[in-house]
Every structure is written in structure tokens, then in C-alpha cells.
């Protein structure tokens, strides 16, 4: 077996692993409307061995960053914090991190978001009370 | 009528306007599980007249920023662009702006996202071909 063939075999073992298939290959192949084989080939060509080995770890941490951005959008924090400045950056950050923790502990995104919106409303009410008493 | 009462009346006219009710008050009161009246009171206290008058405009522009962040998350671009560097920042930006334009032209978020994912897959395949030919 030449070195190219060996490399290909090692790549295959990583990509065929349970965690890879479950978290990356199967969901993305559905999103991209392609077969699992086709997507595996794309990843083989896109990434070198180092990339492949570390990829699953980076996927998990990128997921948290994605969640953070998605919550910012779904809670309309770019409006409440960025434009109106009625929710402080610190409160916004704390709320988002709390929701991410709940999702990582098994709560669905939709349920965690729903609760997060109720907490956001409490923050808005608190700020409204503070401002009306000034 | 004293000046406080006049101000309150002017605020009420803005908040009771069709665009305000449709885009902000009604959807947010559902999200926050409160009545329309309760949410209107919160906004009265949170914002001064200047804020109230400009608010609808800022809401629309913040919506585009929110969309941009949400697409970044839903297309996993923080992973593909930020971590793996297999999609260029320029291509990512172009793709997101194109999807936002389609949403603003009436396409639903889910449909636009679905098409965007297929376009992302084409970008990934193109990059994979390029890398395998090096």
C-alpha cells in the first residue's frame, strides 16, 4: 500500500467514525441534498489529516459560537442592545450563555429560546421601571 | 391637558400605528406571553419620544443585521469560514447578502435558507476540486 492509499484509509477511518457520521456527515448531507459518499469525498479533498483529526472538536466549539449568534438574532438583541441600548451588553451576554448551557444540558433550542424570551421580557420590564422612576 | 398628558397621547399615537402594532407590539407580546397593553406600557417607559419616532426604522434595519447573524449560524459559516477557512469571508458575505435580499423580496426564511445551503455545498465542492488539483 503506498502512502497516498494509507492516508486515504486513515481519513476514511476518521470520517466513518460514529461521532463524525452523527454530528457532521449525516445532517449536512441532508441539508446539502447529496449522498453521504459525495460529502465524504468533498471533506477528503477539503481537509488534510490534521484538519480531519481536529475537526470534530472544532465543530463542537463552532456550534456554541453559532448558537450565540443565533440567539442574538432570535432574541433581537442586536436591536435591544445595539440600537436601543435598553438591555446592557453584560445582561445580554449572561442571558445568551445561560441559554446555551441549557441547550448543552439537553434542552431543545426552541424550548430554551422560549424561556429566554420570557427572561428578556423581565429584563425589559425591570429597565422600564427603573427609567420611569428617574 | 398638561405636557405629560400631551406627551403620553403622542406616544400612544405612534405605538398604536398599524406598522408598529404589526411589526413590533403584536409579535413581541406573543413571544413574551404578555398582553399588548402591558408591552406598550413597557415601551412607553423604556423610550423617549425621539426613540419612539425612530424606532420602527431601527427595527427594520436591525432585522437585517439579525438575519445576517442568524444565517451565519444556520449555514454554519462560523465553522466553515472562521475555523476551517474553506469558504472565504468574501464568498460567505456575498451568499448571506443574496439570501437576505431574497427574504426581503418575499421569500420565507426557511426556503431561502434551504437554497442557501445548496449554494454553500456548491462552494464547498468547488473549493474541494481546487484543492485536490493542487
pLDDT at A9: 80
Calculate how close chain A gets to B25, using CA atoms only, in Å. 13
In angstroms, the separation between the Cα of residue B109 and the nearest Cα of chain A is 13
Regions of chain A with pLDDT less than 70: 49-51
pLDDT for the residue numbered B60: 78
Collect all residues of chain B within an 8 Å Cβ-Cβ radius of residue A74.
Answer: 66, 70
Cβ within 8 Å, pair A46-B86: yes
Please report the pLDDT score of residue B9 as a whole number. 80
DSSP 8-state assignment for residue B84: S
CA distance A11 to A23: 17
Q: Does A45 contact B at CB distance below 8 Å? A: yes
A48's grid cell: 488534510
Q: Inform me whether the pLDDT recorded for B7 exceeds 90.
A: no
Over residues B16-35, the mean pLDDT reads 89
Q: Do B76 and A69 touch (CB under 8 A)?
A: no
Subunit contact B128:A45, Cβ cutoff 8 A? yes
* B92-117 mean pLDDT: 94
ipTM: 0.73
pTM for the whole thing?
A: 0.75
Cα A1 to chain centroid, rounded? 39
At residue B102, the pLDDT reads 95
Count Cβ neighbours within 10 Å for each residue of A36-52 and write b for 16 or more, e otherwise: eeebbbbbbbbbeeebb
pLDDT recorded at residue B79 = 87
| CB-based contact, A26 to chain B, within 8 Å | no
Q: What is the pLDDT of residue A126?
A: 92
pLDDT of residue B99 exceeding 80, the answer is yes
pLDDT single digits (tens) B46-89: 887 766 777 777 887 888 888 898 999 999 998 899 888 899 99
Is B96 in a helix, a strand, or coil?
Answer: helix
Q: Pick the more confident residue, A22 or B99.
A: B99
Q: Reply yes or no on whether the pLDDT at B28 is more than 80.
A: yes
pLDDT-derived band at B116, boundaries 50, 70, 90: very high
Cell of A28: 449536512
**Using CA atoms, how far apart are residues A51 and A38, in angstroms rounded to an integer?**
19
Residue B69 near residue B101 (C-beta atoms within 8 A): no
* Interface size between A and B, measured as CB pairs under 8 A: 117
**Nearest CB neighbour to A58, from listed B67, B83, B118:** B83
Say whether A74 and B74 touch across the interface (CB within 8 A).
Answer: no
Output the average pLDDT for chain B. 87
The answer to whether A125 contacts chain B (CB < 8 Å) is yes
Q: Which residues, 6+ apart, have CB-to-CB distance to B98 below 8 Å?
A: B116, B119
Distance from CA of A37 to the nearest CA of B (A): 13
- Chain position carrying cell 404589526: B22
| Residue A37 grid coordinates | 459518499
Ramachandran angles phi, psi of A53, nearest 5°: -60, -40
- Phi and psi angles of residue B87, each rounded to the nearest 5 degrees, phi first: -120, 130
Amino acid at each position: 500500500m503506498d502512502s497516498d492509499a494509507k492516508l486515504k484509509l486513515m481519513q476514511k477511518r476518521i470520517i466513518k467514525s460514529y461521532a463524525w457520521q452523527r454530528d457532521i456527515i449525516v445532517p449536512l448531507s441532508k441539508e446539502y441534498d447529496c449522498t453521504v459518499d459525495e460529502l465524504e469525498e468533498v471533506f477528503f479533498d477539503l481537509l488534510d489529516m490534521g484538519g480531519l483529526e481536529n475537526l470534530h472538536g472544532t465543530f463542537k466549539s463552532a456550534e456554541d459560537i453559532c448558537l450565540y449568534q443565533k440567539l442574538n438574532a432570535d432574541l433581537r438583541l442586536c436591536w435591544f442592545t445595539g440600537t436601543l441600548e435598553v438591555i446592557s451588553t453584560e445582561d445580554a451576554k449572561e442571558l445568551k450563555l445561560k441559554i446555551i448551557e441549557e441547550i448543552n444540558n439537553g434542552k431543545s433550542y426552541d424550548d430554551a429560546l422560549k424561556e429566554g424570551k420570557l427572561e428578556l421580557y423581565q429584563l425589559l420590564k425591570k429597565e422600564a421601571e427603573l427609567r420611569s422612576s428617574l
